[in-house]
């Protein structure tokens, strides 16, 4: 099933999600040096912070920040990564960083930071295209900002 995104009014959100965003804000501003410190200051467990951190962000922040971090599981075959990068470029995504793990059991995890301000279509469209690409076993957005 494809990932879906919702815009939800703040007063309807569970406390853990709100506190996760508060902790992330402390980290962004430099008011907390570690996740442990930020989570403690807002009254949140670190496990809850890590559960929600990549899936919650302020809508206005998302509009300003145009960087997405993608996690991909790719088959360890010649040309798969090249095809993925070609697809990103063809959709006007600007690759900022790439990190690839050593392939294990025929799969390599690739994490790509992508500047999306010029991206043709939505991130969901991009994920759908990536998932249809030969050799891509999994594609997900794991971070924004």
Q: What's 97's domain CATH number? A: 3.30.70.260
Question: pLDDT tens-digit profile of 107-133?
Answer: 999 999 898 878 888 888 899 999 999
- 84 and 140 co-located in one domain: yes
- Does the pTM of the predicted model rise above 0.75? no
- 40 and 70 co-located in one domain: no
State the residue range of the domain holding 27: 12-56
Residue 9: CB partners within 8 Å, gap ≥ 6?
none
The total of structural domains in the chain comes to 2
Q: How far apart are CA 123 and CA 117, in angstroms?
A: 11
What pLDDT is stored for residue 2 in this prediction?
59
- 75 and 122 co-located in one domain: yes
- 52 and 101 co-located in one domain: no
What pLDDT is stored for residue 129 in this prediction?
94
- 79 and 140 co-located in one domain: yes
Residue 1 resides in a domain: no
Strand-by-strand arrangement of the 136-144 sheet? 94-100, 107-115, 67-75, 136-144
- 41 and 77 co-located in one domain: no
- 18 and 78 co-located in one domain: no
- 48 and 102 co-located in one domain: no
- 117 and 136 co-located in one domain: yes
Residue 5 resides in a domain: no
Strand partners, 3: none
What pLDDT is stored for residue 62 in this prediction?
56
Residue 137 resides in a domain: yes
Residue 4 resides in a domain: no
- 75 and 136 co-located in one domain: yes
How far, rounded to the nearest angstrom, does the alpha carbon of residue 111 sit from its chain's CA centroid?
Answer: 9
Question: pLDDT tens-digit profile of 45-98?
Answer: 999 999 998 788 776 565 555 788 999 999 999 999 999 999 999 998 889 899
List, in sequence order, the alpha helices (H) in 2-135. Answer: 15-29, 35-42, 46-52, 59-64, 80-90, 123-132
- 78 and 127 co-located in one domain: yes
Residue 120 resides in a domain: yes
Question: pLDDT tens-digit profile of 65-80?
Answer: 578 899 999 999 999 9
């Amino acid at each position: 099933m494809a990932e879906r995104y919702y815009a939800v009014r703040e007063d309807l959100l569970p406390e853990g999600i709100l506190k996760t965003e508060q902790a992330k804000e402390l980290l962004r501003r430099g008011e907390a040096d570690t996740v442990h410190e930020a989570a403690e200051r807002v009254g949140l467990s670190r496990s809850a912070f890590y559960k929600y951190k990549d899936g919650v962000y302020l809508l206005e922040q998302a509009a300003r920040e145009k960087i997405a971090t993608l996690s991909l599981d790719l088959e360890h075959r010649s040309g798969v990564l090249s095809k993925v990068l070609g697809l990103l470029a063809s959709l006007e995504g600007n690759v900022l960083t790439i990190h690839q793990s050593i392939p294990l059991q025929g799969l390599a995890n690739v994490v790509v930071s992508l500047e999306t301000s010029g991206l043709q279509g939505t991130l969901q469209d991009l994920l759908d295209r990536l998932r249809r690409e030969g050799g891509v076993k999994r594609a997900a957005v794991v971070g924004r900002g």
